[in-house]
Amino acid sequence: MQDANTATIPLAYERLDPETQRARAQAFLQLMQKRRSVRDFSPDPVPMDLIETIIRTAGTAPSGANKQPWRFVVVTAPDLKRRIREAAEKEERENYERRFPQDWLQDLQPLGTNWQKPFLEIAPVLIVMFKIDYGLDEEGRRIKHYYVNESAGIAAGMLIAAIHNAGLVTVTHTPSPMGFLREILQRPNNEKPFLLLPVGYPAADARVPDIRKKPLSEIMLVNPGLEA
């Protein structure tokens, strides 16, 4: 049911037969099962039109009241990448050497990460994703945004899937704190750094941690709490 004063258009939708549905769901699963967070990058350049297509895909994400509270800042300039690396490593060094508690360091052990982030300079592209806490109209009045973290998180997932689907690799890097990204990239007050994603091709000798995803039985419940 639609409100009489809501403009609507017919849904563009074609129902698939069950066999096609299963084949497509399986094919997508197999594609996504090959995605890995990669930290060893090749410096090979990535065509900008690929990056544009990937970001357009992320921009199709649903968001609270369709406010689309995100900005994807693409960084390719070596000088900006160097400044971002230096600022990120300064914070991360502090994290690894002083701020992270022992149990956090222990949880990171299997990933083999440390404060050094050479990928921030080696990867040809950095996508710095900002969440936009509120919009501003022409008169500078605030426009409310809703469910900003949820919306940005959904768009980030779609971005990562699009990067993988395009045959590129990334890692979700969350330097902390990451206010330096706002300063270096000169973004306004309403834009908060959300994620930093180096994007490119893997190095020829790239290695990844030997980790597993939880089985379906651990992540899915059907009708729990329903009386027998």
Distance CA 60, CA 62 (A): 7
Q: Is 89 in the site for ligand IYR (CB under 6 A)?
A: no
Of the candidates 87, 92, 119, 195, which one interacts with ligand IYR according to CB under 6 A? 92
Q: What is the per-residue binding string for ligand IYR in 48-87, x denoting contact by CB under 6 A?
A: ----------------------------------------
The answer to whether 174 contacts ligand IYR (rule: CB under 6 A) is yes
Minimum CB distance to ligand IYR smaller for 175 or for 193? 175
Compute the least distance from the CB of residue 50 to ligand IYR, in Å.
25
Report the alpha-carbon distance of residue 228 to residue 205 in Å, rounded: 54
- How near is the Cβ of 220 to ligand IYR at its closest, in Å? 23
Q: Which one, 96 or 147, has the nearer CB to ligand IYR? A: 96
**Among residues 113, 134, 165, 203, the one that binds ligand IYR under rule CB under 6 A:** 113
CA distance 178 to 83: 13
Residue 25, classed as helix, strand or coil, is helix
Residue in the shown chain whose Cβ atom is closest to ligand IYR: 113
Nearer to ligand IYR, 93 or 187 (CB): 93
Tell the smallest beta-carbon distance from residue 180 to ligand IYR (Å): 14
CA distances from residue 117 to 40, 66, 128 in whole angstroms, order as listed: 10, 35, 15
Question: What does the alpha-carbon distance between residue 10 and residue 56 come to, in Å, rounded to a whole number?
Answer: 23
Do residues 170 and 126 touch, judged by C-beta distance below 8 A? no
Rounded (10°) angle between helices 148-165 and 48-58: 140
The closest of 125, 209, 121 to 159, measured between CA atoms, is: 125
- By CB under 6 A, is residue 121 in contact with ligand IYR? no
Burial 15-34 (b: 16+ CB within 10 A, else e): eeeeeeeeeeeeeeeeeeee
Nearer to ligand IYR, 95 or 190 (CB): 95
Size of the site for ligand IYR (CB under 6 A): 8
Position 173 contacts ligand IYR (CB under 6 A):
yes
- Return residues touching ligand IYR (CB under 6 A): 92, 108, 111, 113, 173-176
